[in-house]
Structure 1
Amino acid sequence: MKKNIAIIMGGYSSEYQISLKSGNVVFETLDKESYNAYRIHIFKNKWVYVDENDNEFPIDKNDFSVMVNNSKINFDCVFNAIHGSPGEDGYMQAYFKLLNIPQTSCNMYQAALTFNKRDLLSTLKPYGIKTAESYYLNLGDAINEDAIITKVGLPCFVKANKAGSSFGISKVYKKEDLKAAIENSFKEDNEIIIEQFLEGTEVSVGVISYKGKITVLPITEIVSENDFFDYQAKYEGKSQEITPARISEDYKTKVETVAKKIYKVLGMAGFSRSEFIFKDDEPHLLEVNTVPGLTKESILPQQAEAAGISMADLFSNAIDEAMKN
């Protein structure tokens, strides 16, 4: 019997358009013989099922069901394609846990932790995970440029603590540009993290649960045409994403070991994509994404393809793993 799969997409953050693209790719790719796929748009002002004619049917939030032509549809599993809030920060995970509906991403705690860059890095440091030097600011804190520069140096990165797709991030070269960069980050979040610039090879490492085993996918090397791997580099072709990465076997072994360790230490499930930069021959963690991009151009599907995993297999495996667990 076919399973009813709700593909949630959209969200409340600046990443909603990218999420809609990811969700539609999942919708188009899922095996129609095995699944009845439903596109569910999640926005602050509406939760709706959108049919093939773009008709909208409101979701009943009491049990996450929908009425279509006087017939009630319940879902066997939710495929989470929401980047940012509320799909990547734990809110949707907690909601579906309460409703006892399986969903394809990690659990609530892991989502909330990984979405908060400061908390994630602080949690992983005792396990020997190397990171850049960092300085924290909350909205309303006094800004001491000298203290910041003493801690992290120049150039440095100013980032929104809880945001993705490089929204609210700036690379700062001069002390006099710090305040403008901080203000830019505060547009995305009321917490920011200012990090030391690490110069070295940047790689992205996908780790997934595949057929019941933690699997590290082929590594992607990031070569940005811009000053760093920003929004344009990620989504507008201003970068080279080379899979497999042009790194030594030693580098490959080191970063695979660290990425897998992070997945295990955090008790992850579903997809993850971790970003690293090599400094002094060691991988330093930048961040962990738990709902990475899922378009044909996105890094994780590229890595899966290099591993011989089709997008249809990648997505159906995620559903199988969620329902099994």
Structure 2
Amino acid sequence: MKILFIGSRLYDDVDYYVKKRGIESILTESNEEAINLDLPDQVFIVPRGMDGPKQIAITQNVDAVVPLIGIDPPLIQVAEMKEELERDYDIPVIAADVRAVELTSNKINTKNFYSEIGVATPEYQILESLDELTLDFPVVLKQGEGQGGKDIKVAHNADDVNEYFEEFSQALCEKFIEGSEISIEVLAFRGEIVALPPIYKGETTLEGTHPLNKVKLGPCLIDGLDNNLIQQTAYNVARNLNSDGIFEMDFMYSHSENQLYAIEVNTRPNGTRYLTSATCSINSLCELINMACGDFSLKNVFDKLEYYYSTEIPIGNYEGPEINEPVKSFDNNNFIVHGPEGYQRITIRGKSKKELEDRIHDLC
């Protein structure tokens, strides 16, 4: 089996699994100084964009392509490459198709999609000036495109809105939901869909605190909210997207309204993947490889499911005990350290809440 991986930044997350399965690995990367270039069997430095990876896939006669891209801008190019390689060369590309990317990469498109399939989402309007505002403060102002909290502002009053329009000519204006932030990973391939355990990312704040600065917990345990509802809603969204790969979905639960709201969908590897893996022993990136090998199925996923309590904590720099190989896997570890120096996070798991608390005390 020969697989082309696109992008080196996340490759160390799967290198151990690629070697374990005896897969011949080829990687394309546009930055010749990028990390992890020493890990695959072959590396090709190509220009930015998908023309280079497409040509490598064809000339190297690979069996499948697995993009490991964690940012939004290249996703539409990946989707277009997918359609061409699968149609003209019978090379599967384990990624979302053009329709799914177009629906999810623009927040306004996503809102319309939720409305069409009957999934609740916070009340919103498209604003071009303060005079058009009909929602009560506070409101959340966003741009149609962007990730990681970029260009998002919680507006408390008219001055905040006017300040936002000093930089932008238009905004997606959304009702501010006071409640719990939730993420869930969904795996989908050739019509088989599995929603993994949801993750609790903390409470919303009027200051707009970024999720990376919060302690997260798995599984999500919120009074009054059934995790089956989150999983069923996520499954419904994925079924209507009707595409392949990883979907990370963000939800908000309003305690006062007892209402689950869908916020957005990402068609790429995401920041909660370590916590999901800690909670249920399913590594979503490794499942992409299983899809490429033709080994992905609901039965295989369910056979591997385990259940743990887990948490993810910002630590800056890790200075604790040595981590067993493979360091990015829970196979031989009860914790994983990830992220760049100075901004590292530790994800820890235990079979019980007490075991988890003891490990937190020992490691942090």
TM-score range, shorter chain: 0.7 to 0.9
The alignment status of 1:287 with 2:264, answered yes or no, reads yes
* C-alpha displacement of 1:267: 1.0
- Alignment match of 2:159 (pick from 161, 176, 180): 176
Residue in 1 that maps onto 2:236:
261
Taking the aligned partners of 2:190 and 2:97, their CA distance within structure 1 comes to 18
Residue in 1 that maps onto 2:186:
207
Residue in 2 that maps onto 1:83:
70
| Counterpart mapping for 1:1-325 below 5 A | 2-3=1-2, 5-9=3-7, 21-27=9-15, 29-31=17-19, 33-42=21-30, 51-52=37-38, 57-58=45-46, 61=51, 64-66=54-56, 73-88=60-75, 90-100=76-86, 101-137=91-127, 143-148=128-133, 150=134, 152-184=135-167, 186=168, 192-209=171-188, 213-223=192-202, 227-228=207-208, 230=210, 233-234=211-212, 238-248=213-223, 250-279=225-254, 280-293=257-270, 298-310=271-283, 313-320=286-293
Taking the aligned partners of 1:26 and 1:192, their CA distance within structure 2 comes to 38
C-alpha change, 1:37 and 1:281, in structure 2 (3 Å) is same
* C-alpha displacement of 1:211: 10
Code of the aligned partner of 2:214: S
* C-alpha displacement of 1:181: 2.5
Contact 2:179 2:203 in 1 (8 A): no
C-alpha change, 1:309 and 1:180, in structure 2 (3 Å) is same
Structure 1 segments of 4 or more deviating over 6 A? none
C-alpha change, 1:111 and 1:210, in structure 2 (3 Å) is closer
After TM superposition, the structure 1 stretch with the greater mean CA deviation from structure 2, 172-181 or 218-227, is: 218-227
Deviations 1:275-314 (A, max 9, x none): 1111211211110111032xxxx31232133222246743
C-alpha change, 1:55 and 1:278, in structure 2 (3 Å) is closer
3-state SS of the aligned residue for 1:30?
helix
C-alpha change, 1:271 and 1:62, in structure 2 (3 Å) is closer
Taking the aligned partners of 1:180 and 1:74, their CA distance within structure 2 comes to 53
3-state SS of the aligned residue for 1:254?
helix
Code of the aligned partner of 2:101: A
Taking the aligned partners of 1:125 and 1:216, their CA distance within structure 2 comes to 21
Taking the aligned partners of 2:180 and 2:163, their CA distance within structure 1 comes to 28
Contact 1:31 1:312 in 2 (8 A): no
Code of the aligned partner of 2:274: P
What is the TM-score normalised by the length of structure 1? 0.74
C-alpha change, 1:180 and 1:56, in structure 2 (3 Å) is farther
Taking the aligned partners of 1:223 and 1:62, their CA distance within structure 2 comes to 41
Contact 2:4 2:65 in 1 (8 A): yes
C-alpha change, 1:106 and 1:218, in structure 2 (3 Å) is same
3-state SS of the aligned residue for 1:106?
coil
Contact 1:207 1:271 in 2 (8 A): yes
After TM superposition, the structure 1 stretch with the greater mean CA deviation from structure 2, 33-42 or 273-282, is: 33-42
C-alpha change, 1:157 and 1:321, in structure 2 (3 Å) is farther
Contact 1:278 1:284 in 2 (8 A): yes
Number of matched pairs: 284
3-state SS of the aligned residue for 1:154?
coil
3-state SS of the aligned residue for 1:201?
strand
* C-alpha displacement of 1:40: 1.8
Contact 1:158 1:192 in 2 (8 A): yes
Report the aligned-residue RMSD: 3.4
Taking the aligned partners of 2:259 and 2:291, their CA distance within structure 1 comes to 31
Q: Which has the higher contact order (CA 8 A, sep 6+)?
A: 1
Code of the aligned partner of 1:305: A
Taking the aligned partners of 2:275 and 2:246, their CA distance within structure 1 comes to 13
Contact 1:105 1:270 in 2 (8 A): yes
After TM superposition, the structure 1 stretch with the greater mean CA deviation from structure 2, 155-164 or 94-103, is: 94-103
C-alpha change, 1:194 and 1:135, in structure 2 (3 Å) is same
Q: Which sections of structure 2, spanning at least 5 residues, go unmatched?
A: 298-364
Taking the aligned partners of 2:80 and 2:54, their CA distance within structure 1 comes to 13
Taking the aligned partners of 2:162 and 2:119, their CA distance within structure 1 comes to 30
What is the TM-score normalised by the length of structure 2? 0.67
3-state SS of the aligned residue for 1:193?
strand
Code of the aligned partner of 2:132: A
C-alpha change, 1:66 and 1:123, in structure 2 (3 Å) is closer
